[in-house]
Amino acid sequence: MRYSYQREVIREIICSTKSHPTADWVYSEAKKKIDNISLGTVYRNLKTLEEIGSIQIIYDENLIRYDGNTEEHHHLKCSDCGVLIDTNLKSNFDEKDIVSKYNFKPEKTKFFIIGKCNKHK
């Protein structure tokens, strides 16, 4: 019971922001709500939430970030401040081409368009 409450708090923290937070940020927010929560507990719940499809993991170069937007989507990334902006842009290649040209079976497509956000252009 206690564990699912912690998981729900963590899910809400991630879904309440569009900032694509790191585990450390989620941990500092979670501590405001649950005094004795540990970083290990936060990581464990992040993993479970990802496994059950409640959040997505984003591999942003050497950072692991979490996304409450579970729709298939791509991101714009500012090369100055690192902000990630959700898009509904579609990739314009055909999965069948990838299979036939590269003998590779795609499962997920994630791309970043790197550029400058409106504060840094």
Contact between 69 and Zn ion by CB under 5 A: the answer reads yes
Q: Is 44 exposed, middle or buried (0-12, 13-18, 19+ CB in 10 A)?
A: middle
Token pair for residue 10? 């963590």
Shortest distance, position 101 Cβ to Zn ion, whole Å? 28
| CA nearest neighbour of 94 among 78, 109, 81 | 109
Min. distance of Cβ 50 from Zn ion in angstroms? Answer: 14
Region binding Zn ion by CB under 5 A among candidate stretches 3-11, 44-52, 79-87, 108-116 = 79-87
Q: How far is the CB of 73 from Zn ion (least distance, A)?
A: 6
Q: Give how far the C-alpha of residue 71 lies from the chain's centroid of Cα atoms, to the nearest Å.
A: 11
Query: Counting contacts by CB under 5 A, is residue 17 touching Zn ion?
Result: no
With binding defined as CB under 5 A, does residue 86 bind Zn ion?
A: yes
Q: Which residue, among 27, 57, 62, has the nearest Cα to 41 in the 3D structure?
A: 27
Positions touching Zn ion (CB under 5 A) are 67, 69, 86
